Every structure is written in C-alpha cells, then in structure tokens.
Amino acid sequence: MRGRVDGKTVRKDFTQTVQDKGGDKKTQAHATERMTRSLFGCSTEELYKETGGREGDRTSLPQDAQTAYIVGETAATHRLKATPIEGNRSQKHVQIVDTVEDASKDVKGIFPWNW
C-alpha cells in the first residue's frame, strides 16, 4: 500500500499491531502511557495539560510532541512485529507493554529535551 504517512496512519498501524499481538484496549492504553513516560518524562495527562493540548487529540500537541509520538510508535510497531509475544492474555499484555517501553527508550535520545 502506498500513500502519505502521517501521525494518524502510524497510530493506526501501531494499534493494529498491538491487537495482532493479542493486546486489547487496556494494553493499548498502558503501552501508550509507558511510551509517553519514556519519551517525555511525564504522564499522558501531564503532557496534554502542560502543553495546552486537548486530551485524546494529538493534533493539539506541539509539533515536536507529535513527531516524537510518530517516531516512538514507528519504532514500537517494528519491535512488536519482530518480537514473539506468547502466553495467556495477562502475559501478552506485560510483554507488549514492556516491548513498547523498550523501543521508546531506544529512540528517546534523539529528541533535544532528553539530551
């Protein structure tokens, strides 16, 4: 498939990959929270509040934050696709969230607020 890639496309691919690996909405929420903490050093709620964004609307975040999410979700998607996720629902949840956090930590250093 070809076409322009944007934050919405990356988010959709990330969400689908979490589901494909056995995660649910709770897993998605926890993975996103861990990614946010890794990339920005704060909770998702704090990020939106501190930047004046509207919670749940990434387009309301500063461009640098949107870019960081795109990079983080791209890295996490590829890492998840390459990682065997096995076990029961609870075990898969933990493995998915941990994998997303690891991928996020790997890319966080490219952003100036983490230097």
pTM of the model: 0.93
Mean of the per-residue pLDDT values for the chain? 96
- Token pair for residue 30? 């926890």
Q: Is a pLDDT exceeding 80 seen at residue 104?
A: yes
25-40 vs 44-51: helix crossing angle, rounded to 10 = 60
Distance CA 68, CA 90 (A): 28
pLDDT band for 110, please (50, 70, 90 cuts): very high
